Amino acid sequence: MTPEIAIKHQRLVEFMSKNDLGSLVLTSRASFSWLTGGKLNHVADAVQQGVASLVVTPDKIACLTNNIERPRIQEEELAQAGMDLVDHPWYDPAAGRKATKELLGSGKVGFDILVPGLPKRAVPLGPELSQLRWDLLPEEIERYKIAGKAASDAMETTIRQIRPGMTEYQIAGLAGKNVRDRSSRPWVILVAVDDRIKKYRHPIPTNEKLQRIAMVVLCVEKFGLICSLTRFVSFDRIDADLRRRHDAVVTVDATVNLASQPGKTLGQMFDVIKKSYVDVGFPNEWQLHHQGGPAGYQPRDCVATPDDPTTLVKNQALAWNPSITGTKSEDTIIMTNAEPIVVTAAGSDWPMIQAKYDGKSMPRPDILVMA
C-alpha cells in the first residue's frame, strides 16, 4: 500500500472494530476515489455505483471487478496501489458472488451500496462512513487545490465566452467543454438567464435565450474530489436592487466561511447562517434553499440543518451556498484552524467584494459586468 492508502486503511480498520464488522465492500465512486488516492472506478457518469469494488479486511484491501474492466483498472488506476486484483467473467454473476465471498473476512459485512444477491450478513453503511473522509490528508489537500484551480479556470473561461442570444443549453455546452478540456468531469451544470434566476434555485438548462444576465453553477470532479462554485455575468449595469441583494449574499457567504471551525456542529453553523440573513436584511431567504455543508468526494455529504449535532473536523472541505432571490454566492473551501483555503478562488482579474465578519474580511466574487 502507499502511505496514503495505509492511513485510510487504518481508519477503516478502526471503523470496522467500532461497528462490529468483519469486512467492507466499497463500490461507490466516492469510496473508491477516496481510498485509492483519487482513482476512478466508474463507466457511466450519471450513477454512483462503480464497476469495481474494494473489499477491505483488517489485513488487506483487494479490488474485485469483471474481466471487461480489469485491464483498465489494473493498468490505469491501481498500478501503484499495492492491492490484489481479482476478476470474474462478466456473464457469470454467481462467479462474482463466489469471488466476493472468498475475499471477505468473518462476521458481518458492511456495504456502501446495496445490490441484489447480498449475503445475509450484509449491513448497509450509514453516514459515518463518509465522515471518515472528512479529515483530508496533505496529499488530498494538494490535489484539491489543483482540482479547484481547474474548476475556477473552466468557469471563468465559460463566463467570458457567453454572449447575449445564447441559450442556456449552449452556455451549458461551453461549460462542459471547458471542464473536460481541463481533464475534469462535470457533475452538475446549472444555467439560468434573466427571470429564471429569480424563479428557480436549481435551474437545469433550457432553450431560454440570454438577454441581460446569466448564472452558471458547476460541480466539477477531478481526482474524485468535487468542487462547487457559482458565478454571474451581466451585459447591463447592475441595478440598485440586485446590488443590494448580491452585497448581502456575499456577506452571508463570508460569514459562514469565516465562522467555520473544527469542533463546531452543523447546527451551530446553521444558526450563524440564519442570523446573518437577518443581519443583512433578508431574514426569510434561508427557507428557500439549503445552505450547503460538508463536501469532498461528493458535492455535499450532507447539508446543515437546525440542531444537527454533526461535528466539523480539521482539514475538512465545505461548500456553503447561501442564496437570496436573484443571486447566490458559492465556492469550495478547506477549513483550517486559521483562514479557510478557497480552492475554487476566482482569478486575479475577476471583480471581488471585500465582505466582512467579526473583524475579518474575505474577498467574494462579484458579478462580472460585460456591458
Cβ-contact 230, 271 below 8 angstroms: no
Instruction: Give the rounded distance of the alpha carbon of 244 from its chain centre.
Output: 29
- pTM, whole model, 2 decimals? 0.96
- DSSP code of residue 346: P
**pLDDT tens-digit series, residues 335-365:** 988 889 999 999 999 999 999 998 999 999 9
Q: What are the CA-CA distances from residue 209 to residues 75, 163, 201, 216 (Å)?
A: 45, 10, 18, 14
pLDDT of residue 151: 98
Query: Which residues fall within 8 angstroms of residue 46, CB to CB, at 6 or more apart?
Result: none
**pLDDT tens-digit series, residues 199-224:** 999 999 999 999 999 999 999 999 99
Distance, in Å, from the CA atom of 345 to the CA atom of 352, rounded to the nearest integer, reads: 11
Kindly list the structural domains of the chain, giving each domain's residue range(s) and its CATH number in brackets, ordered by start. Answer: 3-131 (3.40.350.10), 138-369 (3.90.230.10)
**pLDDT tens-digit series, residues 12-29:** 999 999 999 999 999 999
Q: What backbone torsions phi and psi does residue 138 show, to the nearest 5 degrees?
A: -55, -40
C-alpha cell at 358: 467579526
Cβ-contact 194, 154 below 8 angstroms: no
**pLDDT tens-digit series, residues 41-55:** 999 998 999 999 999
**pLDDT tens-digit series, residues 56-98:** 999 999 999 999 999 999 999 999 898 999 999 999 989 988 9
Sign of CA dihedral 192, 297, 339, 350: negative
Q: What is the mean pLDDT of the chain?
A: 96
**pLDDT tens-digit series, residues 155-189:** 999 999 999 999 999 999 999 999 999 999 999 99
Q: Exposure string (b/e) for 64-81, b if CB count within 10 Å is 16 or more? A: bbbeebbeebbeebbeeb
Q: Give the residue, 306 or 120, on which the prediction is more confident.
A: 306
Task: State the burial class of residue 128 (Cβ atoms within 10 Å of its Cβ: 0-12, 13-18, 19+).
Answer: exposed
Helices 266-279 & 240-259 angle (0-180, nearest 10)? 150
Distance, in Å, from the CA atom of 22 to the CA atom of 26, rounded to the nearest integer, reads: 13
Would the pLDDT of 117 be above 80?
no
Would the pLDDT of 9 be above 90?
yes
Q: Nearest to residue 188, comparing CAs of 160, 217, 215, 148?
A: 217
pLDDT of residue 338: 81
Q: Report residue 325's pLDDT band, with 50, 70 and 90 as the boundaries.
A: very high
Would the pLDDT of 255 be above 90?
yes
pLDDT of residue 275: 98
**pLDDT tens-digit series, residues 216-251:** 999 999 999 999 999 999 999 999 999 999 999 999
